[in-house]
Amino acid sequence: MTNPRPPQGRTDSAKNRDLETDRERSDGERLTTNQGVRVSHTDDSLKAGERGPTLMEDFHLREKLMHFDHERIPERVVHARGSGAHGVFRSYQDHSELTRAAFLRDPAAETPVFVRFSTVVGFRGSADTVRDVRGFAVKFYTSEGVYDLVGNNIPIFFIQDGIKFPDLVHSIKPEPHHEMPQASAAHDTFWDFISLTPESMHMILWALSDRAVPRSYAEMEGFGVHTFRFVNESGLARFVKLHLKPMKAMTALVWDEAQKIAGKDPDFNRRDLWNAIERGDFPEYELGVQVVEEADEMAFDFDLLDPTKIIPEELAPVRPLGRLTLNRNPDNFFAETEQAAFHPGHVVPGIDFTNDPLLQARLFSYLDTQITRLGGPNFAEIPINRPTCPVHNNQRDGFMRQAINVGRTAYSPNSLGRGCPMLTPSGMGGYAHFMERVDGRKIRERSASFQDHYSQAALFFRSLSEPERRRLIDAGRFELGKVRSMEVRTRMIGHFAHIDLGLARAVAAAVGVEPPRSAPPPPSAPKGVRFSARDLRRSDALSFDGEANRRKRTARGARIAALIAEGFSADDLEALRKAAEREGAEVVTVAATQSPLKSGSGGEATADESFLTTSSVVFDAVFVPGGGAAAKSLAADSDALRFVNEAFRHFKSVGAADEGVDVLHRTSIRGVRVADPGAGALADAGVVTSRAGARGDLLDVFFEAVTQRRHWDRPPHGATPA
């Protein structure tokens, strides 16, 4: 059989066939179910009332999600690339007032956990540092059963109703005709979908922000995304939003750095997590909750059931519940990290659901997808998924069955087995759903309270610092600059104008779209609300440069590259190592070769890395010790100069002692002052130098600079190559 396409590649006529096919489809094709039934509406699931629960009789929703859940075997459809760790959770106090969940009521109890971090879009072999949402899923092995908090590092989502999830993921995955691009949103089909889906505007700003390129999982927030319910022993229910706040300050990569790391070390975040646990620098997070009384459900100018909205912390502060510590790496990646099966429907007494239409779909979809991915219905018997409390049920047989059940009864009720396993009344610890009144017409509609798509996006943008806004704008320019359709670009600029006119104009100027002249009027708040997010000028918790995050900044966990060559100052290097150890930081020596090097005092050292095996992008700071011969060698080495230039361009701390300062003079660093001969420590925009050796004053000032991580006050770096 001959290939109908010419062997030399796609001709112009061949390239046009895709466009012709699209035109033919647009002329006559109608969306149908797999059975050929025409579909009248595919944006909202069938609910009991516009804010009611999703109905199981929605055959279109079930078929659409079922087909989507089983599209790939055995890799996860989304969140395929993951990293895991074991740990423990301990409650700060008895939170019985909030919930009957046992693991939140006993401060003496230590609950084992398994956490899986992940990227969303890429396949298992993609890089860690792509621009993407990060999964943050926690499995609590409680005394009452497994509780899964299946969250992300962003508190909202792209869509409001789970029926749109297959469309969202299909748009962002590699385009089906050529399977490109990998692990990237920067292409036409994704932005086409987003530009036609206004509810995504809040989330897309988060995805363009620093949140989408975290430096470390230990420095990244987690969120439950949805509104859940906590129910206490007396049956009192409250709406809650769950948060996991890192004990370290949140940090991010800059985009140029993230792209280079993807080539230098595609396992960057995974390696960082593993190494931190191995050296005893255990990642820690504080589990907290925002609480809203049932009576205040409609008191906000947004809908609590809308997963594209946050509750600003100024309106509902986060109440700390306990601390989660990751202290053990997996023994086997596949058996634990890869086979871990999370499901938002895995809850324990005291935690219940709401009618959030995205959550309702996830309750079906997560369970369904495990059947294909893990070989059948018995995935809960895999060791990593197995509860630590006793399990007794009447489930039998099926693929991958591991439990060996004894006895002749596998049904209920029974008398031959003396009624076992027996039911447990809710008053004795049995799970009981919150008795919410539900009524309404069967309807495919969305509540009017879900219709404001721009106010919270504008709040997020206003809350960012000026450097954060610049980086978000650059991200928008990069992403839309990869989009070939001018129609899609123009639609997106129109949406940006609803959020912030300056944002819209800045991105438009870079992607060839006519900048908007004026911004549409902002939507007015509903009448009668008591808590208005639209009245907030900014929210401190949304910015990495906010006061709450700044207070957490330390040098702990920072990786510092010390550049050495033959004749380096051993005293300077040793002083740097001791200071780093006090700060909880790590020093890695880098040289042109990994052969032994003699110091100026006659000792020998072998560099940990060479300029060929590493790069400044995987470090948080650079330091050049003294030593005349070493400085002369480094100043003549283009790899060493590029290493320093790149760190400076990425706003990192750069330090130098004695003759090491001469190396900085040979770089392209401009616009900052360095120490004069004989002078002590001098700091300017994160460049810390001294001509008096690596003494305490220099290292104190240097590590204070490292604590800041980035120095956004640096002059424009256009003249600094990297």
Mean pLDDT in residue range 644-662: 96
| Structure letter (DSSP) for residue 514 | P
For residue 421, say if its preceding peptide bond is cis, omega within 30 degrees of 0. Answer: yes
Structural contact between residues 558 and 586, judged by C-beta atoms closer than 8 angstroms? yes
pLDDT band at 679 (very low <50, low <70, confident <90, very high): confident
- DSSP code for 612: T
> Would you say residue 718 has pLDDT above 70?
no
Q: How much helix, strand and coil, in percent to the nearest 5, is found in the chain?
A: 35, 15, 50
Q: What CATH number was assigned to the domain covering residues 47-385?
A: 2.40.180.10
* 391-405 CB burial, b ≥16 within 10 A, e <16: eeeeeeeeeeeeeee
**Rounded mean pLDDT, 713-722:** 68
Q: What is the pLDDT of residue 165?
A: 96
pLDDT at residue 73, as a whole number: 59
- For residue range 103-141, what is the model confidence (pLDDT) as tens digits? 999 999 999 999 999 999 999 999 999 999 999 999 999
In sequence order, which ranges of 236-317 are alpha helices (DSSP H)?
255-264, 268-278
pLDDT value of residue 5? 40
Please check whether residue 644 is in contact with residue 677, taking contact to mean a CB–CB distance below 8 angstroms. Answer: no
- In this structure, of 168-172, 233-237, 388-392, 545-549, the range with the lowest mean pLDDT score is 388-392
pLDDT at 677: 82
Distance (Å, rounded) from C-alpha 129 to C-alpha 474?
Answer: 17
Annotated domain spans of the chain: 47-385, 454-523+535-542, 554-708
| Predicted pLDDT of residue 70 | 76
How far from 372 is each of 58, 326, 687, CA to CA, in Å?
Answer: 22, 30, 54
Half-sphere exposure for 3 (CA within 13 Å, toward CB): 7
Positions annotated as catalytic residues are 79, 152
In CATH, the number for domain 454-523+535-542 is: 1.20.1370.20
Q: Please, which pLDDT band fits residue 19 given cuts at 50, 70 and 90?
A: low
Residue 11 has pLDDT above 60, yes or no: no
Which pLDDT band holds residue 328 (cuts at 50, 70, 90)? Answer: very high
**pLDDT above 60 for 211:** yes
Q: Given the structure tokens 């809040």, which residue do they identify?
A: 202
Q: How far is Cα 661 from Cα 643, in angstroms, rounded to an integer? A: 15
Mean pLDDT (whole number) for 280-308? 97
Architecture of domain 554-708: 3-Layer(aba) Sandwich (3.40)
Per-residue DSSP letter, 132:
S
| Per-residue pLDDT reduced to its tens digit, 218-277 | 999 999 999 999 999 999 999 999 999 999 999 999 999 999 999 999 999 999 999 999
Q: Tell me, what's the pLDDT at 526? A: 81
For residues 157 and 555, give the distance between their C-alpha atoms in angstroms, rounded to a whole number: 32
Please check the confidence at residue 72 and state whether its pLDDT lies above 90: no
For the cut 60, the answer to whether the pLDDT of residue 3 exceeds it is no
Q: Specify the pTM.
A: 0.91
The rounded percent of the chain whose pLDDT value lies above 70 is 95
Within 503-639, strands assigned E span 559-563, 586-591, 597-598, 604-605, 609-610, 621-624
